[in-house]
Copies of this chain bind each other. A is one copy, B any other.
Amino acid sequence: MSKKKKSALSTKQGVSQNEMANSSSISKIRQKRKVNLNADSIVARILDRDITALSRAITLIESKNTKHTELAKNIIQTCLPHANKSIRIGITGVPGVGKSTFIEALGKHLTHTGKRVAVLAIDPSSSITKGSILGDKTRMEDLVRDDKAYIRPSASGETLGGVARKTRESIILCEAAGFDVVIIETVGVGQSETVVHSMVDFFLLLKLAGAGDELQGIKRGIIEMADAIVINKADGDNLKKAKLAQVEFKRALHLYPKKESNWQPQVSLCSALNNEGVSDIWNLILNFIEITSHNGYFERKRKQQSKHWLLQTIENQLKSDFFKSPKIQDELNRQLVLIENNKTTPFVAADCLLKLIK
């Protein structure tokens, strides 16, 4: 917690220094050099595994201030050659499934073996609930205090698209800061699972046994995305139910067509609280990385993901540019009334609107 406060403080200092420089009347060239200098020095510290610098850079990514955005862009671009080297793991599961406990157990297992772990979160609901994921400071107490771990809550007050972009850029910085494993946590709100799936190498679905919960997973089509289903809280009285659920999931998974990765998704049992089954799950992930690195899928998927993000960003921007024009907004409202009254078709209305920008 003190580390976090310190980071927040130093970020604030960084920002105010910046603003002072910008508000003075020094020449633009000098100003630019200053920005570059700052970017370079932040990057140098990130590469030196300085967590405060990493935190400050992520705050810059999240800032709505244009100067910060420019600075963040420079930092990311300079970090790029040092990125791309971690294993990126997505973890999802409904509230109550024990995500924090599981991530803490997995994280501790990794730091014990000398690995450095960063945990980021994507939680589009956090703007409403003021941060339900990783927001509670009492969560992951052990991991928070671990020098080899870095935990960052979800950016708030943003659309899913906005959070996604910021998280993906944060991954680059974490990798430049030498983290071996980057975990992206999400809760099944809206499309957040699909978004996380499109930025990780390995996608893990955390489940509980019993109470019809098995089918709830199938419902959202998440099963298809999962590289592993982990049934948590498989201990005590739950063990029998958990084993039954494991059989059921295995049966269901076998009905799906073979994945492009050539990887057969696994169903594992785990008791994160008792630290049981966690190392097996890590071995399973390593096995996945080995197989997919060998058959070329690992690299291919990362390239596909980058292309997907490029196209997605363009689409979103085209749409938002179009619809934010007041001229379009007025005409859109007019056309919607015409459609409601059966005076025009959606297609003719679309043509009318599109003509306005030509």
Contact = CB atoms under 8 A, between A and B. Distances in A.
A137 interface: no
A76 interface: yes
Nearest to A80: B342
Query: In the assembly, how many copies of this chain are there?
Result: 2
Contacts of A165: 347
Interface in A169-193: 169, 172
Classify chain A: how many residues form its interface, as a range. 35 or more
A180 to B, nearest CB: 18
Given A215-B255, A219-B255, A339-B306, A313 B347 contact: yes
Nearest to A313: B350
A74 to B, nearest CB: 10
Contact of A80 (B218, B219, B343): B343
B307 A336 contact: yes
Interface string A236-275: 0000000000000000100110000000000000000000
A289 interface: no
Interface of A is mostly: helix
Nearest to A305: B346
A114 interface: no
A353 B318 CA distance: 11
Interface of A: 73, 76-77, 80-81, 83-84, 165, 168-169, 172, 212, 215-216, 218-219, 221, 224, 252, 255-256, 303, 306-310, 313-315, 317-319, 321-322, 335-336, 339-340, 342-350, 353-354
Given A169-B345, A303-B339, A308-B346, 8 more contacts: A76-B345, A81-B342, A168-B345, A212-B255, A218-B219, A219-B224, A310-B339, A314-B319
